[in-house]
Amino acid sequence: MRSSLHATLLVSCADGPGIVAALARFVFEQGGNILDSDQHADSRLGVFFTRLTFTLDGFLLARDLIAPSVEALLSPHEPTVEVRFSDETKRGAILVSKTNHCLYDLLLRQEAGELCCEFPLVIANHDTLRGVAEHFGRAFHHVPITKETKAAQEGVIFELLERERIDFVVLARYMQVLTPAFVDRYPNRVINIHHGFLPAFQGAKPYHQAHKRGVKLIGASGHYVTADLDEGPIIAQSVVPVSHSDSIRDMVHKGRDLEKSVLANAVRCHVEDRILVYANKTVVFD
């Protein structure tokens, strides 16, 4: 049975023998019990990744000393170490435009306990979805954006995110290209749903492109946002079959179901600390 209080350790470092043994010994010697352990090695780049969850009840080391202690332990491997704690709930902001299906789905899943996070804030560049946010009791802010006012309006959004102590941002069909300043402020913390199977069919109308090419599968991709449009590290993807008889409208309807589930999966992986990013790719632990 999982302890009421546990820590999740995420490590990426140069690969080599003894890393798993050293981490297991470290947890044991500090009085912890390992609950989950997973690892992956990229043999081409020589990089090792691991996710380790362990109990904190009776743990001898103070929480703020865990990360530096692991860094010292693995110093020959030049590690990058992150530690997350089960009593710290991530706070997310959802950015939307006019389309409501992803917003509804995220708020419903969060209320049902499927997403272990908080969504105190919905920000939109149109006023269309105010009723959805207010129905769920979430603060709604209409922040209209034009090409000429984008920098200023993103400044307003920054203020809202800081005021609400937001940890990560979800673009639930926001349909705006974020500036590099925004992306740099939240590295690997802005999650987007692209209504296409990246890296194919980038841009604003992937279903139209797919229909034109006569593809037999359409997909959706959840990814972290970078300064390069639709080229950030991919977290989750899924596909559904289509045929010559499907119109663009049919593809859009089928695609929306995919978008909801893929975005929710990407958000779940993020809030459960299951993702490590490297070389514009992700390792996503089960």
DSSP string, the chain: ---SSEEEEEEEEE--TTHHHHHHHHHHHTT--EEEEEEEEETTTTEEEEEEEEE-TT-SS-HHHHHHHHHHHTGGG--EEEEEETT---EEEEEE-S--HHHHHHHHHHHTTSS-SEEEEEEESSSTTHHHHHHTT-EEEE----TTTHHHHHHHHHHHHHHTT--EEEESS---PPPHHHHHHSTT-EEEEESS-TTSS-SS-HHHHHHHHT-SEEEEEEEE--SSTT-SPEEEEEEEE--TT--HHHHHHHHHHHHHHHHHHHHHHHHTT-EEEETTEEEE--
In the chain, pLDDT over 70 holds for what percent of residues?
99
The answer to whether 167 is a known catalytic residue is no
Q: What is the mean pLDDT of residues 20-43?
A: 97
pLDDT band at 281; cut points 50, 70, 90: very high
Active-site entry in 167, 230, 246, 273: 230
Q: What is the mean pLDDT of residues 204-225?
A: 86
Mean per-residue pLDDT of the chain: 93
The pLDDT of residue 169 is 98
Q: What is the mean pLDDT of residues 213-219?
A: 86
Domains plus CATH for the chain?
Answer: 6-85 (3.30.70.260), 91-284 (3.40.50.170)
The pLDDT of residue 1 is 44
